[in-house]
């Protein structure tokens, strides 16, 4: 499928590089790896595991929002909250984006500050800079889950 988006230039390119560097710093800190390990532990056999924490693999693993909804439902169940509804067969972009929005809403209800949510485009479009917002959201959700004594615990940076 052809990509019809214009390449970034000038200030847009500089901003893109700055955001890419932010993700690179999170990666250097081990945040994507810790998030991936925690998601795999929480979901167990309820979802195929991701074994590679490169941003492209993680983005593709989460892209349809199904994993995120299953994940937030585990957190909500432990907190005595009702599960969020989602569509498990999300091959159409609109359905995937609905799942991602359902995750964001459920995460805020769980206790995540809305400033840490991300747009469905941040995850679905597959841009490294935008994906950083997804990783930061999940990291913050891990800290909140730890404060609620959720198990398995999210392993913070040492």
Q: Answer whether residue 152 shows pLDDT above 90.
A: yes
pLDDT digits (tens, 9 = 90+) for 74-101: 999 999 999 999 999 888 999 999 999 9
Structural domains in the chain, sorted by start: 24-147 (1.10.418.10)
Give the Cα separation of 30 and 9 in Å (integer). Answer: 30
Q: What is the chain's mean pLDDT, rounded?
A: 91
User: Which 3-state string (H, E, C) describes 6-46?
Assistant: CCCCHHHHHHHHHHHHHHHHHHHCCHHHHHHHHHHHHHHHH
Confidence of residue 1 (pLDDT cuts 50, 70, 90): very low
Question: Considering the entire predicted model, what is its pTM?
Answer: 0.88
pLDDT digits (tens, 9 = 90+) for 25-78: 888 989 999 999 999 999 999 999 999 989 999 999 999 999 999 999 999 999
pLDDT at residue 4, as a whole number: 53
Give the Cα separation of 44 and 61 in Å (integer). Answer: 15
Stretch among 77-86, 100-109, 119-128 having the lowest mean pLDDT: 119-128
pLDDT digits (tens, 9 = 90+) for 110-121: 999 999 999 999
């Amino acid at each position: 499928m052809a990509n019809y988006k214009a390449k970034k230039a000038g200030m847009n390119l500089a901003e893109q590089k700055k955001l890419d560097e932010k993700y690179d710093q999170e990666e250097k800190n081990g945040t994507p790896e810790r998030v991936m390990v925690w998601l795999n532990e929480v979901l167990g056999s309820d979802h195929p595991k991701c074994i590679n924490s490169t941003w492209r693999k993680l983005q593709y693993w989460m892209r349809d929002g199904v994993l995120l909804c299953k994940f937030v439902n585990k957190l909500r169940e432990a907190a005595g909250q009702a599960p969020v509804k989602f569509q498990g067969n999300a091959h159409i972009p609109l359905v995937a984006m609905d799942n991602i929005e359902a995750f964001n809403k459920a995460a805020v209800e769980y206790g995540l500050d809305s400033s840490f949510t991300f747009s469905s485009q941040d995850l679905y479009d597959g841009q490294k800079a935008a994906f950083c917002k997804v990783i930061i959201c999940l990291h913050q959700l891990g800290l909140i889950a730890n404060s609620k004594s959720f198990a398995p615990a999210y392993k913070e940076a040492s």
